[in-house]
Amino acid sequence: MDNIRRALTMSGREIEYVVTKNPPRGGMKYTYFTPDKSLVVQFFNDPENAADPGIHDRIKAIIGRYNPTVPEKLGGANGNDERTAAYFSKCYCWPLDIVVRPEFGIISPAYPKNFFFGDNASQILQIKGKDKKSNWFTGRSRKYLNSSELGDFRSMLQISILLSRAVRRMHQAGLAHSDLSPNNVLVDPRTGTCVVIDIDSLVVPGLFPPEVIGTRGYVAPEVLQTLGMDRKQRKFPGVQTDLHSMAVLIYEYIFLRHPIIGPKIYSEDPEQDDYLCLGEKATFIEDPVDTSNRPDDLKVTVNDLGPHLEDLFMRVFCKGLHNPSERPAAIEWERGLLKTWNLLHSCSNPNCDKRYFILHDINNPVCPFCGTRIKDDTILKLDFYAQRRGNPGRWFKKSEMIAENNTPLCVWNLHSNVFPDEKAPDREVKAYIQKKEGRYYLVNLTLKNLLSPDGSTVPPGYATELYPGAAFRLLRDDDSLLMKVELFNIN
């Protein structure tokens, strides 16, 4: 075929790609696909960028020593093994190689298929084949999407966890994205997954400066506020600005609204109003002290998300909005979101489009999205305790969980030394909670050493009752967590 070309990469591979008349074009690059559409070959719009040795060095570093999708022993990021590299390869579309002929460019994996809209995504919008930027789901277009595309509150919370983890790993590697926005984070609410793209423009602090200032609505206020100043006074994108942009995205995923763009008018000049709204005068729409930017119809707020997320949002959008050093780190978001995940409870209203909510107040078990009170007569709360290292018999609370019928328990719910991140040895369900005839049971699926409250072994396929006041080690292992059972009557 005449439209097939070959690209020679730095590693010596030849990659075929299909030349089209109007290739997808972004701010810096245009894109061609390989014949099987598994890879993309990208070239720079501006020949000066393609010839810039600084850009060459940046991309070499990103593909090499800063790369979290490659094991350290193969030249990837420090601390990476095969398992963590494989995990993070699903979190990003990380560049794979550099094109040296016919001109300088990069090879990257194509987005997974679930991040493109299919045939039945909308009966009104012509979006088949378009990538799933998050503003399709959080903006006005949402009402035109078929309900099967929208996911629910739980899936958007899961996307938030994965985004915070991806950003945390970039920051740990010494990188900053510099332009986190719906354009560069694709989401799929159906599966609760996301993927971070446009990796080749990452900022390496102290080594490679940012090439962009960001996207409207996601640029940190200090970057917008110092535009036009001399270089010594300007604030450029980096780790701290990522923490603002990421928080804006997470807020939008959860609330389907922007945390700063509210009803307040800052100037009669629309352009100046926009500049002040997102920059110098930026005000959180839920600021508990300055309510001048608060919409009248705030039905669900950060108070409905429980203490962990409420604290994070207040810190980033009140204390940290104009003081970047106060913004919570990505790992704090990851941990806070995971703690909040354990407080999820299903809504009793079959018509509630959110389907889940955060049950952080047992005395008020009501879905904030639809106002429906839980129909169950009891709520099961599980507290998990870990033994202090070097202090046998002394325990501290590690986590808590609101459990209901079919709530799963994984390895991190059983062991004190396992965290539910990329380093977890597996993500399989080991046991689960079953509610039957008003009683709760712990059902063993695969564990050989699961214990009952009386200390006897529960074989796989069997169950033990979880009665109020029970407190017992879950496994016959030194690193086993201790679980305490609480049962609350709510009717």
Query: pLDDT of 53-93, one tens digit each?
Result: 988 999 999 999 999 999 999 999 998 999 999 999 999 99
Residue entry with tokens 């059902």: 443
The verdict on 483 and 403 lying in the same domain is yes
Residues 213 and 104 in one domain: no
Is 357 inside a domain boundary? no
For residue 473, the domain's CATH number is: 2.60.200.20
Tell me: do 15 and 98 sit in the same domain.
Answer: yes
pLDDT of residue 26: 79
* Token pair of 317 as six digits: 């959008």
Q: Number of folded domains in the chain?
A: 3
Residues 203 and 226 in one domain: yes
Residues 52 and 175 in one domain: no
Residue 349 belongs to some domain of the structure: no
Q: Are 290 and 267 contained in the same domain?
A: yes
Query: pLDDT for 10-51, tens place per residue?
Result: 999 999 999 998 898 877 899 999 999 999 999 999 999 889
How far, rounded to the nearest angstrom, does the alpha carbon of residue 12 sit from its chain's CA centroid? 35
Examine the pLDDT at 336 and tell me if it is beyond 90.
Answer: yes
State which residues form the domain around 407: 376-489
Q: Is the pLDDT of residue 179 over 90?
A: yes
Which pLDDT score is estimated for 2? 64
When pLDDT is averaged across residues 142-162 and rounded to a whole number, the result is 97
Does residue 53 lie within any of the structural domains? yes
Tell me the whole-structure pTM to 2 decimals: 0.96
pLDDT tens for 259-285 read: 999 999 999 999 999 999 999 999 999
Strand pairing class (29-33; 97-101): unpaired
Residue/partner pairs of 97-100 with CB below 8 Å, 24 or more apart: 97/9, 97/10, 97/11, 97/13, 97/15, 97/63, 98/9, 98/10, 98/56, 98/59, 98/60, 98/63, 99/7, 99/8, 99/9, 99/10, 99/15, 99/41, 99/43, 100/8, 100/9, 100/10
Question: Each residue of 386-424: pLDDT tens digit?
Answer: 998 877 778 999 999 999 999 999 999 999 999 999 999
Percent of the chain with pLDDT over 70: 99
pLDDT at 376: 85
Closest CA to 244 of 275, 217, 211: 217
Do 175 and 283 sit in the same domain of this protein?
Answer: yes
Residues 67 and 212 reside in one and the same domain: no
Of 130-134, 205-209, 281-285, 318-322, the poorest mean pLDDT is in 205-209
CA dist., res. 107 & res. 100, Å (int): 11
Is the pLDDT assigned to residue 1 strictly greater than 60?
Answer: no
Dist. CA 369–CA 355, nearest whole Å: 9
Q: How far is CA 59 from CA 64, 84, 179, in A?
A: 8, 21, 16
* 347 part of a folded domain: no
Q: CA–CA distance from 11 to each of 7, 63, 97, 302 (Å)?
A: 11, 12, 7, 49
Residues 286 and 400 in one domain: no
The Cα 487–Cα 380 span in angstroms is: 5
Domain for residue 356, yes or no? no
Whether residues 323 and 429 fall in one domain: no
Tokens 């629309």: give the residue. Answer: 270
pLDDT class of 201 with cuts at 50, 70, 90:
confident
Domain annotation covers residue 224: yes
- Model pLDDT, residue 95: 95
Phi-psi region for residue 318, left (φ > 0), alpha (ψ -120 to 50) or beta? alpha
Q: 330: closest CA among 217, 237, 246?
A: 246
Give the mean model confidence (pLDDT) for residues 452-456.
96
Separation of alpha carbons 302 and 285, rounded Å: 11
Is 392 in the same domain as 329? no
